[in-house]
Amino acid sequence: MSLYPILIAPLFNKFTPLPEGGLRLKIERLASTLKFPLKKLFVIDGSTRSTHSNAYMYGFYNNKRIVIYDTLIQQCKNEEEVVAVIAHELGHWKLNHTMYSFVAMQVLTLLQFGGYTLVRNSKDLFESFGFQTQPVLVGLLIFQHTIMPIHHLVSFALNLVSRAFEFQADGFAKNLGYGAPLRAGLIKLQEENLSTMNTDPWYSAYHYSHPPLVERLAALDRSDKKEE
């Protein structure tokens, strides 16, 4: 996770520092307000591969970087919409979503190794499948099929948590005063990325780690009504 953006991603895309100007100043000011330890601010040439737009951050401790797709800058109508998207991403950091997700994945990985060890050492389980020995590959296959129902439940739970994080990050950006530009930016990005705007709620809850646009806009509207 830490090596990919530094060593691997530059092999496929060009990273250039965001030029001095209003956009850079606004992002740096936002980062400073949130006490985000921003060290570098890059633009990636995502337009050379597709029209997909995005922004993300990476880095450990006090060495954080923000990367903005050039398509995001091109597609948003103004700088405020770009900053609103960045505010959403910084919301994930401020609310510790990144750390929670990282810890959860490490715990799940340890549980998987532990589960495989139990299967690998279960002589009775191998014998029930007709094996008198305990081949490693067979143990792996048995473990994969055994854990499949649990995997679906865990994936569903992770999607629910991820979706909740997205709503929280949207709310965070809105509380910073970026409600209107965030709405406009989300709509524009959804159009450009050709994503489904209004998926069936049950389908999206199971398959999507991010809520559909309609649900995100509705959540922002509900928060507006609560404030009134």
Does 190 score more than 70 pLDDT?
yes
Report the pLDDT averaged over residues 179-198: 82
Could you identify the residue written with the tokens 């797709």?
A: 69
pLDDT of 224 > 70? The answer is no
Q: What is the pLDDT of residues 96-150, one digit of tens each?
A: 998 899 899 999 999 999 999 998 888 888 888 888 888 888 889 989 888 889 9
Of 70, 80, 81, 170, the catalytic one is 170
170 is catalytic: yes
pLDDT at residue 3, as a whole number: 64
C-alpha 54/C-alpha 68 separation (Å) is 6
- Three-state DSSP class for 90? helix
Dist. CA 80–CA 70, nearest whole Å: 15
Please state the rounded mean pLDDT for residues 21-40: 93
Q: Tell me, which fold does domain 4-75 have in CATH?
A: Zincin-like (3.30.2010)
Q: Nearest CA to 180 among 71, 91, 89, 81?
A: 81
Dihedral angle computed from the Cα positions of residues 7, 98, 92 and 219, in that order, rounded to the nearest 10 degrees: 120
The span from the CA of 15 to the CA of 9, in Å, is 9
Rg (CA), the chain: 22
Q: Centre a 10 Å sphere on the Cβ of residue 190 and count the other Cβ atoms it contains.
A: 17
pLDDT, one tens digit per residue, over 16-28 is 889 999 999 999 9
152 annotated to bind ligand = no
Using DSSP, state whether 149 is helix, strand or coil: helix
Model confidence over 203-220: pLDDT tens digits? 888 888 888 888 899 888
Cβ neighbors of 112 (< 8 A, separation 6 or more) are 147
Q: 92 a known binding residue?
A: yes
Q: Note whether 217 and 190 are within 8 A (CB).
A: no
Please give the residue that has the higher pLDDT: either 4 or 151. Answer: 151
- Say which DSSP state 47 is in: G
- Residue 199 or residue 114, greater confidence: 114
Pairing mode of beta strands 64-69, 38-44: parallel
Q: Which of 80, 81, 89, 215 is catalytic?
A: 89
Q: How many CB atoms sit inside 10 A of residue 79's CB?
A: 17
Spell out the domain ranges in the chain: 4-75, 97-227
Check whether 210 is labelled as a binding-site residue: no
Question: pLDDT digits over 39-71, tens only?
Answer: 889 998 877 777 778 888 887 777 788 999 988
Residue 191 falls in the annotated catalytic set: no
Question: Residue 64 belongs to what H/E stretch?
Answer: strand 64-69
